[in-house]
Structures are given as C-alpha cells and as structure tokens.
Structure 1
Amino acid sequence: MRKKIKIFLASSLTLTTFLTIPIPDSTSYVKASEKSNSIVVNNTSNANVSNEMDILKLNYREYLAGNESINSNHLLDSKINSVHNTAKARLTSFLPIEDRVKGEEKSLFKNLPLGENVNNLNSSYLYLYQMALAAKTYKRTDLSGVNYYQNEETIHKVIDGLDWLYTNFFEDQEKGYYGNWYFWEIGIPMNITKTMLLLEDEIKRYKPHLIDSYVASMDQYLRNGKNGDIDLDSRFHRGANLADIATNRIIQGALLGNEERITTAIDHILTVFKTIDPHNIVNGNTAGFYEDGSFIQHQSVAYTGSYGKVLLNRVIQTIRILNNSKYDKKEILVPTVKDWIYNGFSPVIFEGYMMEIVKGRSISRTGTGYQDVFTIIEAMVEVSNYLSDEESEILKSHLKYIANSNKSSFSTGLFTSFETIIKFNDILTDPAIEANKGIDENSHYAFNLMDKTVHLRNSYAFAFSRSSNRISKYEYMSGENLMPWFHGDGAYYLYLSGRDQTKSFGSHYFATIDPYKLPGTTVPVEERKTVPQLYDGMLFYLNTEHPLNFHSSSESQNKYVYFPVGTNDYSGGVKLGEYGVSGIQLGDEVGYRDKQAGLLPEDLVMYKNAEANKSVFLFDDELVLMGSGIKDEMGRDVITTIDNRMFAENETGTITGETYDDRRLNDPINGEYDLKWMNFKTDAEGTQVGYYFPENSKINVTKDTVTESINRIRTSNPDTNVTKNFFTLGIDHGKDPENEKYAYVILPNFDEAKTNEYSNNPSVKILSNTENVHAVENTKLGMKGFNFFSDKKNTVSNVTSFNKASIMIKNNHNGTVTIAVSDPTLSLDKMKLEIVIPDPELVAASEGVKASVSRKKALIKIDSKNSNGKSFEITLKMNAD
C-alpha cells in the first residue's frame, strides 16, 4: 500500500522581461535615518582595496552589475535596459505590508502565495535580487527608460522584503525545507547571497544583523551537509551542485569577514576539478569530468550539455571572484577549464547547437539547443582572458566559429557578465581573428565512460546514445522528459550542416515523434505509461512503507525511477584516428530485473525491453548500422526504426527510391518495400540523406503529419500544440522474432543520383551479421571494423577474437597495418586476438600491448584492466614478397 504525502518538486524557472508598468504610490519600506552612502563600484579599483575580502566582493559585484566605465558602453544599452525594466515589473508586483496577508495566504509579490510552494519562495527571492541588481547597475542618464540605479526606495524595498521573508518563511526551520532540497541548499541561498552582496552597506546600516542571521539560517538549511557545511560524502554535494554551494559560501565568507569559511569553500570547489577515476572513486563521487572527456552528474547520467555547462559557468565565476586576491587559483583552474572546453564541450556542439545525447531530462525543455551554447561561449570569452596570447587567440578563433555558425538569434543578453558582452563583441568584430573550428573537422570521439559516441565531419555530425550497467538509460525527474524509455538504447541523431537544428530536433522533436520510433532503436510494440499516469498524477513513485523507502529524492527513487541504469555490460567502442566502431547489447532496466527477483513493491511498474546486438561503423561518407540476435521472450511484436526525420510544416519533403526488383519509387510513398536505396530531402538546406540497404529486406516507408502539445514531454511546458512532418523508415520484425537482423548504410548529404550510384557500386561490404559478430569492410578506405559480442572464440575475415571486443584495422599506404582494440564492457582484465597477416613484424604498440608473431599471423595480448574503454593500438609491418 502506498502512503501519500503532499510534496512539491522543483521545476526550472524561466526569466521573463515583463511589460513596464508604473510603480504604485502606496509602498512600504524601511525608513532611512540618513542618506545612503552605498559603494559606487566604478570609483573603486583593486589597487585601492586593502582588504582581501573586499577584492572578492568587488570582483563579484562588477561581474554581476558592471561599473560606470563598463556600463557606459553603448553595446550594453539593451542589457542594462532589460535589467531595469525587469526591476520595474518586480516593483509593480511588490506588495505593501498591508496587502501581504489575505486570510491564511501570505505573499510578498502578487500571485506568488507563500508557505507551501517552494517555487514561489524561490521566485520571491529571485525578484528581490533582480530589484537589487537594477539598484546597483549603473545606467547612463541619457539612456531612455526607467533608471533605478542607487534608487533608495528600491533599495529599501529589497531590504524590507529580505527582512519580511526571513521572519515569516526562512527563519523558522520547522516550517522550512518543504519541496525539493535544491531550492533550500542552492537556489534560494544563491539569490539571497547575491542580493546581500549588492546591498551590503545598506543592509548593515538599516538591518545590521540580517546578513549574520541569513547566513546562519542558510547553514542550517544545508541539511544534506555536515555541521552546517558541505559534506563531500553527500550524494547531493557533487559536481555542479557542489560548485554552486561552494561559490555561495565564498561570498558569504567575504560578507562575514570569515577567512576560514572562504578557504574551506575554495578547498571544496577544487575537488570538482579532479578527473574522476571510476576505479578510484573518492567520497562516493562519480560526478565530474573523466579522462576521455565524458561528464557525468546524478551518479550515472551523461550531462555535459546541462549540468556540465552549469558547472562551467560557476567555475568561471569563481575564477573571477578570486582573481588578483591571495586566494587566486588561476594556475590550477584555467588549464583544467581549457581542457574541458576542447575535450568535453566542443565535440558535442555542432554548428553552435548542443547535441541531445548529453542533456539528460533537459531535452524536454523549450529553448534548448542553441541557447545551451550561450553559456559555454561566455565561459570561453572569460577563459581567454587568462591564457597566453597564443592560446587566447586560438580559443577566440574557436568561439568565433561556434558563435557565427549558430542558426538562432544569438543574444548576449543571456550573458551574466556585462564586461564579457563587450569582449565578445570585440572578438566578433576583430578582422584579425579568423573563425576556426578549433577541433579537427574530421574527428571521432568515443566517450565510453558515459556511453556516448560522436562522429564529426565538416558536413554532418552523428551522435550515438548508449547505456549499460554503468550509465543510465535516460533521466526522468520533476515531470521532465516524460517518455524517455529508449533514449539510451542505440538512439542516434544525425545533424546536417546548414540546417537550423531546431527544425529537426529539440523539444518539438521529442513532443511530436513517436517515442517508440526513435532512429536506431529496436523496441517491443506496447504502450507504456508516463510516471504521472502510473502513479495518480504524482511526479514520482511514493511508498514510504516499503523497506526501500521510496520518496521524492530517495536513493531508491533515483535507482529505479529517475535515472535507472541497464543490466547489460556491453556498451563501448573503438577509435582509430578519425574513424570508429561502437556497439551495444540491449539490456533491461535494473528495475525490471529486481522486480522479477521480488525486491520491489508490486505496484511499482517496470517494463521489459527486446533483445538485440547493435553496432555502428562510422567512416567518411558512410554510416553503417547493424543489428542481430533480435528477439523478445515475451512474444511481442518488435520493430527497428531506421530513421525518423522531422521537418517543418511549411517544408515539402521529397522521397525517391528503388527496390531490388528495379522498381522506381516516387512520392507519395507509404508502404513496405524490398528497398535497395532511398533518398529523402526537403526544399530547405541541410535535409538531404541517402540510404543504402546491402541486404534484401522489407522496409516500411511512411510520411506523416503529427500535432501534439509540448507539455506531452514536460508537465511545466505550456499546453501549446506544435505540428511537424516526419519521414520514417522502419523494419517490422514480427511477433516473437527469433534472431532477426538488419543492416543499412546512411549516406549524409547524398542526393538522389549519388545515392543510386552508390547502391550500384558500394564501398561497404557486410562481412558478418550474426548474433556473435558484426563486421564491415570499407574497401575505399582499406578499413575493417568488428564488434565481437561473445566471450567465446570467433573468427571473421582473418581476425579471431577470444573475448568480447571492438576492433578496427586499417591497411596503411606504407605496407603496414594498424589495429585498434577496445574493451566494450569496460571490465576485462585481459584481451586476446589473432590476425592472419603475411610475415608480420612489430613496428609500434600502445603500453600494455604485446604481440607474438609467426610466419603467417600475429597473436596480440592486451592488459586491459582498468582501461576504461580506451583504444589500444598496434602497428605491424607486412613483409610479403
């Protein structure tokens, strides 16, 4: 039996610029006994600051509000007007003391009742911060519109509001900490701390104990902490969350004049910069960056594009805060952040768009994709300030390329720092800085530590999403990402150059696409229900009577509902230069396994997946996708989606193709065919794709128009309908399939003629498509790729593997052969393979690789223990006559 309690979960907040409305005459604020002598930040420089803590405070004030010199730049007029217009809207909704209590309801701002909804309390503190920001944001007198700079009435209202909220809703610990923990430990303290920083002098003058009281209470609300401070052992204080809390505490320490608080917070934030070693986990922390560029948050979620960018932004702020003080850590922080940018962030950004595979539940939020990258660009501008001249120019060139390739309306209004807006404009308008991609145009990234693969070419990017018993299949939380079931089961995203990617992906894509037909997935045909549908509208599963104690933020909720890992260990891939092979053996969610074992409550619903081995072989013009061993022990129908391309309602899609019996196909096409090749395009740029089918099989072709509401995927999204078109290719494997298989080749940017030509003279050959081995040869490149799915000995095309493995082999022009090998399970201590090669001679080998050669073959042994899925290479010379 489930026990129900009333609880509120957090949802992301959207900042809106409100219409300007006159301030009412009736106001309530603390009366000043004397005229304010607030700090005017533009008249102070670091050189004149004697107190180290004043340096920290001044650095952050100028980061948030600029100064008179900075703010006089006309480039900031729009940003500054926005700050003051937002404050005007907040002042309009600010309630005088006599209107704050109506019956049992209390509010500081109109339409934000307080006492039970932590979102409203967080918004109230945010509104006060926005008012304080305007009061400390210098605005030129010749700039039109409202101007609240150093406005005493506004300042007094903010202080009054801080005091009233503290007395009524923050001071009493028994009444607080309802809803989501994040608001109490991070969100609310962040806005309180910034507000107190901006108005420090006035608060100390009019309410001298308010800062001390607030900090003491914020320490008490750090309930996932330890003795009122961060607890490095707490699962809540990791990665981006830890950086958020630590940065808040640095500023609080400066406000209090508490050096120990500052140095402790700095020590805590420095732990975020340590590369995570999965074989040497410290404090149980798996959140952070890994050696292969992967970023993980929430224990097991690939999260570069959401929490990763939050961490980056917070760390940049920390660098700025500590700059030129005795606490300065640039020599530690800057090189690490630069490495994050090039190896972690840049590979998952295509033409200014953040890829879907690294955004967790935030893929269901509107405004993501291009906007996700704004934060990263701002960070890149900041980092460029601290690099050598040569490194700085290279980074500026890189960020200029990302910004110029962004297809959205790029708005520096989303930048936090005023000064960075000016520097960013200087970079864009400097003709001496050439836009440069910054990373190789042709490159391959095997992010095996977060089960993701990215393959980049100048004209396209291919992102492949995997999961395992190490990495979550998806993330659902707080009513976000409601239909995520197959996101980590081999789903892929093909981004084509020149395309506005929001017309192909983003929140509208997930709202309108059939969630059982994500490209690349093999799924059972059944109807699954969302978490709110399953549990009476609740956004989580609740059962506090079960031994696992399911509540909103419990570890059991995380494990089985929010971000479940799989049961399969095979999820990895190998990289050889700019090419790669990746594969996954589908597994169930861990919850299904544990439900069958009787470990979970009977009413906790868990779904079973189909079985399949899946591979992608990634070359230049060809992307080869294969599947085998497709079956379903529950006897359901199983389908594989080859592709499912979304295009806008006002775009015209064109489909052409040819069957193996030489039948030409043209629009309109809806049906099942023995396809040899097919081509799809719309009348817009960046939509053309060819498909080649090397094995004769029945392919379903459809073109549909779909209308759905975007709150279908996120409860807090508006109930707004969007209409999209879809071109879908798929395979119906039938009911209760036994060892079904598929193979197809995606040809990015190929037109109809080129696709047809390729099908008549393909450079890709399928060498094996069995339950044990997938193997492909690219004759044009002189390369072969293999995924061995079995622990037993298997031989294909002169290559024998004695264990599970991902392998690539390239014949070089100089008579040598290079072999790359990776452990796709990330668990093997030893690996062994044998390759038939004439009179081989060892030329070079990675550390841990040994080769025994004979007249006709080479036996290769690899010490792969704790190798984290990295690729080992060995080069052999062929000495044939």
Structure 2
Amino acid sequence: MRPSDAPRPPAPHDFEALRATAVTLLTGGEFDASDPVYVRPLAALGGRAAEWLAQMVPGLIWPDLPLEGRPGNVTGSYGRLRLIATAWATGGTAQHGDDAVVAKVVEALDVLHERHYNAALPETGNWWFWEIGTPAELARTCVLLGDRLDEGRLEAYLGAIDRFCPDADRRAGWPDASESGANRADKAAIVAFRGVAGRSAGKLALARDGLSDVRDGGRHSVFGYADSGDGFYRDGSFIQHGDLAYTGSYGLSLLIAVAETLALLDGSPWEVDDPGRRVVLDAVERSFAPFVHDGLLMDTVRGRAATRQAFSDSVAGHGLIGAVLLLAQSSPEPYRSRFRELAKCWIERGRARPYLDHANVPETRRAVAVLDDKTLEAAPGPVGHFVFPCMDRVVHRRPGWSLAISLSSQRIAAYEAINGENLHGWYTGDGMTCLYGSDLGHYGQDFWPTVDPYRLPGTTVDTRRREDLSFRAYRPANAWAGGVALEGRYGVAAMELVGDGVSLRARKSWFCLDSAVVALGSGITGSDGRTIETVVDNRATPARPYMGDGWAHLPGVGGYVFDGARMLVETRTGRWRDINAGDDTAGAFDPVTRPYVTFWFDHGVDPVDAGYSYVLLPNATRERTRSFRGSRPVRVLSNTDRLQAVETRGLFGATFWAAGGIGLVEVDAPCMVLLRRARERLILAVADPSRTVDVVTITLGRGARWVARADDTVSVRTGKVPVVTVKLGGSLGRSHSVELTSFVPGNPRYGR
C-alpha cells in the first residue's frame, strides 16, 4: 500500500510529478516544520549548510578542498553543494527558498563545470569519482534546483553526466568492463535522477533496464544470484571486487541505490517490475539482518570501509535502516511489513548512536511513522547460527550477544587495501572474531586506529613488523575455510591458516553453542625465528579484568576460560590517518586514545605443532565463569592437526582434517560434523569447507531404524551401525543434514 503522504503516481511523461517524487525523496516533502521531532534534523541541515556557505570563496569555492588534479575533492565539493541545495529546498531551514543561496550554488556549479567536470575532460585518477561520486551529487543537485537552472546550464551539467555515466552498463573509461554489483546499482540511480532532471524518458528507461542488465541479457543484473564475481549469492553472501566479503559496504550501497531507484520510479511508466527484485528484497533478512547487532552493522563484512572515520558500524547501521524503510515503501507484502518491523527493532535497540539523533528529514519522517505505529511489533533480531560459505563468514547469535568470524581462503581474500584505505588490515581475515554484547561502543569509538593490529581477537599471527599495505588484495593458499550448521542453531567454523609470506601454519576451529564458544587451535608451526601468538580477545574497555585460576572475567563483556593465557592492560594511542589516507575518506591526524585488555597465548619462537584451547562466555557473570571452569560442561575430546572435537550435553562437533573416528562418529574423508542426540533421535549435519571432497561416508556408533528426514544429497543404511553417505561435490561448502530415529515415525509416544 502506498504511504498516504507520498506524491501521486505520475501519469505518462508527467515529469513535474516525477520530479516532485524525487524532491520528496531528497528533502522529505511536505511536513510540519514546527513539530519538535524535526527540530534536530532541520537544525543540523541548516547549520551545516550555513557553515559551507560561510566558507565559500568565489572562484576557489572551498580552500580546504583544493581542486586541481584532485577528483576526490571535486566530488566532495559537489557533495557540499548538494547539501546546500537540499537545505534550500527543505521547508523549515534558514536557507529555504533564499535566492541568494541559489545564486551562490549556481556560481559554484559553474566553476566546477568550467574547470573540473565537463564533457571535454579526460578521466584522471580514480575512475569512481568521475563516473559515480561526482555525477551522483550533481544529478541530485540538478533535481533539487529544478527551474532555477536555465536551459543552457542544465544541458551542460547533464552533458557532463552523460559523458562519464551514460548508463549503468559499462565503465565509461573502460568500455570493455561491464558494471556489476553496487557500481551498477549506483549508476542506475544516477541515470534515474539525471532522467528526472532532464525530462528524459530514454534515460529513465536506461535506469530501469540497467538494474536488470537488459543490454547483456541479465548477465550482471542486480536482481539475479551470482555464481561467481560480484553480487548476492544464494547462500546470502555478497561479494564485490570478485573475492571480497562486502555486504556492509558495497552491498549496503547497492541496497540504498536500489531502494532509491525503486521508490523514484514506483508508479511511473518506468516502474521496475523485474520479478527478480525478490533477490534484493530477500537479501534484507538473508544477507543483512544476521550482521546487525542492536543497530550496528558488523565490521566483518565492511572490509576497508571499517577504517573510515566517518563511517563507523553505527553509521553503516543507520544507512541500512534508512534503506530498509525506503525499500518498504515500494515493496509488496509481506516484505513491507517485515521490513518495517526489522527497522523498528534496529532503531529501538540502537543505543550506541540513537537513530533519530542523527537521521535527516526524510529518514526521520519514515522512522517516526514506524515508531508511532502501535500495530507494528518490533521484530526480534535473528537467533541461530549462520554460515556464508561463498564469502567465508560465520555469525553465531544468541539473545544479548553475537559472534562474527572472518575467514579467508584461496576463494575469498583476507583483506583489501586500496585507495589509501585499510593500511593495517593484515590479519582481519585470519580468523578475526568480533564479539558483540552490551558494550556497544567497542568497535565504533576509535577502535580501529587504537587497537594493536598485530593482536586482533581470534587470530594466530607471526609477530614480525609489517609495512603499510598499498593496493593489494590478498588471497591465501588454503582451501579450508567455512563451517557447518545444525538445525540453524549450533555450528562449527574452521580455517586452515597459511601465513601471508611466512612459514606459519595452523588449524583453527570454533564450536558455537548455546551460551559458549569453544576455540581450538592445533598444528601451530613456524620456522622464521619469531614468536607466534594466538589472541583470545583484545577489548577496548575501561573495565578492570579479574583473573582467576584458569579463567578470567571482564565486566560488561563476559568470561574466559583458558590455561596458560597471558593478560595485558594498557592504554593505546593512534591516529585515523595512520590507517586511512584515502582521497575522500582520510582520517584525522589528531591522536585518539582508548584503554585495552588483551588475553593471548605465547607459543614461543618457532613452535612445532603447538596448540591452544579457550572458551568465550559472552555476558557471563564472574560466578558463572568460575562455575564453568570448575564443572567443565564442555569436554575437548581431541585437539590435533587431524581432529578437533568437543562434546556437551548430547551435542558432538568435530573438524575432521583427515579421515578418522572418535566416539560415535567415524568418517572416511575430511569434513565437518555436528551431531545432536535427542531422546530417540540423531540429527546429523555435515559440510566440506575445503570443497575438495566429492562423497563422504559417516559411520555412526548408535543404532537407528528409520530416516525421519534427509536432504536429497544424503542416503542412509539404517541398522545397529547406521551408515550415512553424503554427496558433497558441487555443494559449495553448504551443510547437509539428516535425522534418524530408533522408533516408528508417527508413534504418538514420541511425538512428531
């Protein structure tokens, strides 16, 4: 159902109505500016516009953004002009309708066009500024100014856009490159706004068709699942740049651009009706929601964007909320209601950076409508275990806490460091574990410039000193990275670590349970004459840790159980500029300081077949941590370079690095196994994160008479010694499951 305050659907070629829709998207449309809820966003918008206006210098525009040979600063200048134009077009600001403001904006647009962005110029430097960054700001500015731009100026400005972003299909500076993923979606949105500004039916059709990649038969459609390269995958992964997990950066950009384009064209002759829209709609819950903890969009899927000072996990979370609320407006049921329920949850739980304290006017309007709707229940965050095999990411979620594990392999890069960003990201894909609980400011408040980048939680590292990264995306040589999930509730993740340019090798597993995560490491070997360490946690917190005998407790975080771990309490100082020197994302030179508590294992110099074992108890009290250490409810059955296995309360999990057996389970090939015993049932899940095994046979040491349920890749020979055969080949690391029983199905004595 269309919102009651939305503009009417434009009739064919009713460009004024279409522009009204566009202006409403950019400004919020008609609203009561005296309503207290709009005081803050209007003051913020007007205040920033006044600041930029006061600093403008005729002919130079802004001294802090030198333009000559700096395409990033050109984009930044257009961005400031767009903000001023937004303030001018928004009722309730000091700049609203002011002719002098428009005159200054147009004068600045002329300077930029004449000297720095016109159809006669060649692309220099980073193509993105020319083909996406600048035209995105300019097209929207042209829409906002409307008839305040005379025909000659409008034609010239739109001509520059047409030169560098003529459509969503091709790279203007490299015509052989077809656009995909976020870049295609961003360009489609640019062409759509350009079409509105220029009253061009042809451009609007190109925007619509660009999303679906009509030109190339849908090969790079954002509404189709990818089997390789960029886009959304059927398992919920999102990849950009071919081999990087980027749901929370490029994936977010794609979602925002698609939401904006769908909303703009909704009800028009160019409305997007591709049935593949479901791919993007489904991605909200499948791809994004597992990575949102209390309004924070996790850094594990944000790549180099995590090092952008102005783009913290909470800022990214706000971007997702805004996109989901906007997407809801043009989505059919049940998507529309579900999106609004999710957004309501994220807004209400986003205590680290309250949404309404930072939203702009359009975002505030949509958020208030959801928050004031008493018939709408906030959707609880997902609970369970989520494996994303196609991007080597695993998330384990329980009420009150979440754990994200960043893996890498010969398929997925461990890090990307380009355009001066992510200069110290050496180990972010080497098993880094990000634990989210009640301390919501942990990662967002100056974590990345102050954390010891050689001691990221969950990683095993060679302690060599390293140079800043520059234009590199590194994929390690290991095949094994991924996990297995059982009933969507429990899981095991594992990675075979191959050090970047060093001899270090290790085998690492994480067993994710109801209230604990057990981490095992084995086969840790290095021969380069340096100390090898494994980091349990490296927490930015002022809390004072309590060390017990084989356990530790950190207030506000939880408990740790380990033997032989070391602890360091320190205050660390760093600068955002040291980790990000990008043209338009560079951090400040000002030092920032945070207190840290670090727990780690020292494996010594050149260890041979070393290991570790520790347990994370998120949100646990000191007493519960002490009790866990004493009662040991989880048993480590094996921790060798051939088998890592644990058992607790009827649940068995194992990483079989080689064929072998233990307890009730024997396998004839490497794989990962989870087995749960429940009354007269056995529920089994199997996966091959290495993608090297075609078929595995599992022999179980407990009898079963019937197969209650089985995936079509699973066959079973029941009896006193059941044999389960699983076809793993071609399954891309996903989990396969079967449920066996020792009773006749349907017997009321046992239920089901």
The two structures share one fold, judged by TM-score above 0.5 = yes
Give the SS at the match of 1:825: coil
The range that moved more, 85-94 or 446-455, is: 85-94
1:239 aligns with 2:181: yes
Contact 1:319 1:333 in 2 (8 A): no
Distance 1:414 1:178, change over 3 A: farther
Mapping for residues 651-662 of structure 1, pairs under 5 Å: 651=543, 653-658=544-549
Q: Distance between the aligned counterparts of 1:170 and 1:423, measured in 2? A: 35
Distance 1:734 1:799, change over 3 A: same
Shift of 1:230: 10
Give the SS at the match of 2:458: coil
Shift of 1:330: 5.9
Give the SS at the match of 1:640: strand
Q: Which residue pairs with 2:316 in the alignment?
A: 372
Give, as a single letter, the amino acid of the residue that structure 2 aligns with 1:713.
Answer: I
1:322 counterpart (238, 254, 265)? 265
Q: Which residue pairs with 2:750 in the alignment?
A: none
1:515 aligns with 2:453: yes
2:665 counterpart (790, 793, 799)? 799
Give, as a single letter, the amino acid of the residue that structure 2 aligns with 1:864.
Answer: L
Give the SS at the match of 1:346: helix
Shift of 1:419: 4.2
Q: Which residue pairs with 1:608 in the alignment?
A: 502
Mapping for residues 611-690 of structure 1, pairs under 5 Å: 611-648=505-542, 651=543, 653-658=544-549, 677-682=550-555, 686-687=556-557, 689-690=558-559
Shift of 1:460: 1.4
Mapping for residues 199-598 of structure 1, pairs under 5 Å: 199-204=145-150, 208-222=151-165, 234=177, 237-270=179-212, 271-278=220-227, 281=228, 286-329=229-272, 332=275, 335-367=278-310, 368-387=312-331, 392-412=336-356, 414-415=358-359, 418-439=361-382, 442-496=383-437, 498-499=438-439, 501-502=440-441, 504-506=442-444, 508-531=446-469, 540=470, 557=471, 561=472, 563-577=473-487, 578-589=489-500
Shift of 1:627: 0.7
Mapping for residues 794-873 of structure 1, pairs under 5 Å: 794-813=660-679, 815-853=680-718, 855-873=719-737
Give the SS at the match of 1:114: coil
Distance 1:411 1:836, change over 3 A: closer
Q: Which residue pairs with 2:77 in the alignment?
A: 124
Q: Distance between the aligned counterparts of 1:254 and 1:470, measured in 2? A: 41
Shift of 1:77: 3.4
Q: Which residue pairs with 1:767 in the alignment?
A: 637
Contact 1:365 1:507 in 2 (8 A): no
Shift of 1:222: 4.7
Distance 1:292 1:45, change over 3 A: closer
1:114 counterpart (31, 53, 67)? 67
Shift of 1:335: 4.0
Give, as a single letter, the amino acid of the residue that structure 1 aligns with 2:452.
Answer: D
Shift of 1:199: 2.2
Q: Distance between the aligned counterparts of 1:388 and 1:256, measured in 2? A: 30
Q: Distance between the aligned counterparts of 1:474 and 1:361, measured in 2? A: 8
CA deviations 1:678-730 (Å, max 9, x no partner) are: 12223xxx32x22233xxx5322332232333333223221233332222222
Distance 1:123 1:710, change over 3 A: closer
CA deviations 1:612-643 (Å, max 9, x no partner) are: 00000010122110011110143432111122
Q: Distance between the aligned counterparts of 1:108 and 1:619, measured in 2? A: 57
CA deviations 1:488-532 (Å, max 9, x no partner) are: 111111212x32x22x2236222222222212111112111213x
| Structure exhibiting the larger radius of gyration computed from Cα positions | 1
Shift of 1:223: 10
Shift of 1:861: 2.2
Q: Distance between the aligned counterparts of 2:5 and 2:145, measured in 1? A: 16
Shift of 1:357: 0.7
Identity among equivalent positions (%) equals: 27
Give the SS at the match of 1:149: coil
Shift of 1:184: 0.4
Distance 1:423 1:128, change over 3 A: closer
Two-structure CA RMSD over aligned residues (Å): 2.8
Contact 2:224 2:279 in 1 (8 A): no
Q: Which residue pairs with 1:776 in the alignment?
A: 646
Q: Distance between the aligned counterparts of 2:703 and 2:79, measured in 1? A: 71
1:740 counterpart (605, 610, 630)? 610
Task: Return 5+ residue gaps in structure 2 as ranges.
Answer: 213-219, 745-752
The range that moved more, 622-631 or 715-724, is: 715-724
Q: Distance between the aligned counterparts of 1:397 and 1:217, measured in 2? A: 41
Give the SS at the match of 1:234: strand
Q: Which residue pairs with 1:29 in the alignment?
A: none
Give the SS at the match of 1:84: helix
Q: Distance between the aligned counterparts of 2:414 and 2:274, measured in 1? A: 37
Give, as a single letter, the amino acid of the residue that structure 2 aligns with 1:252.
Answer: R
Distance 1:108 1:748, change over 3 A: closer
Shift of 1:823: 1.5
Shift of 1:875: 1.4
The range that moved more, 862-871 or 80-89, is: 80-89
Distance 1:641 1:131, change over 3 A: closer
CA deviations 1:748-789 (Å, max 9, x no partner) are: 2222322222222222111211111111111x2x11011112
Aligned length: 728
Shift of 1:113: 3.0
CA deviations 1:251-276 (Å, max 9, x no partner) are: 22333343333222212213543343
Q: Distance between the aligned counterparts of 1:55 and 1:830, measured in 2? A: 60
Q: Distance between the aligned counterparts of 2:42 and 2:484, measured in 1? A: 50
CA deviations 1:83-107 (Å, max 9, x no partner) are: 33333333323334xxx2xxxxxx2
Contact 2:706 2:740 in 1 (8 A): yes
Give, as a single letter, the amino acid of the residue that structure 2 aligns with 1:170.
Answer: Y
Give, as a single letter, the amino acid of the residue that structure 2 aligns with 1:470.
Answer: R
Shift of 1:446: 0.7
Give the SS at the match of 2:443: coil
Q: Distance between the aligned counterparts of 1:132 and 1:773, measured in 2? A: 62
2:124 counterpart (166, 178, 184)? 178
Q: Distance between the aligned counterparts of 1:202 and 1:877, measured in 2? A: 75
Distance 1:63 1:609, change over 3 A: farther
Q: Distance between the aligned counterparts of 1:228 and 1:295, measured in 2? A: 21
The range that moved more, 459-468 or 296-305, is: 296-305
Give, as a single letter, the amino acid of the residue that structure 1 aligns with 2:41.
Answer: K
Q: Distance between the aligned counterparts of 1:317 and 1:585, measured in 2? A: 41
Q: Which residue pairs with 1:725 in the alignment?
A: 595
TM-score scaled by length of structure 1 = 0.78
Contact 1:225 1:231 in 2 (8 A): no
Distance 1:164 1:824, change over 3 A: same
Q: Distance between the aligned counterparts of 2:170 and 2:551, measured in 1? A: 64
Q: Which residue pairs with 2:216 in the alignment?
A: none
Contact 1:568 1:588 in 2 (8 A): no
The range that moved more, 289-298 or 830-839, is: 830-839
1:65 aligns with 2:27: yes
Give the SS at the match of 1:510: helix
Distance 1:430 1:739, change over 3 A: same
Q: Which residue pairs with 1:81 in the alignment?
A: 43
Give the SS at the match of 1:492: strand
Q: Distance between the aligned counterparts of 2:590 and 2:623, measured in 1? A: 40
Shift of 1:394: 4.1
Q: Which residue pairs with 1:603 in the alignment?
A: none
Shift of 1:420: 4.0
Q: Distance between the aligned counterparts of 1:787 and 1:168, measured in 2? A: 61
Contact 2:299 2:306 in 1 (8 A): yes
Distance 1:633 1:194, change over 3 A: same
Distance 1:316 1:413, change over 3 A: farther
CA deviations 1:398-452 (Å, max 9, x no partner) are: 3222111112342446545x3442231132234443333153xx31101111111
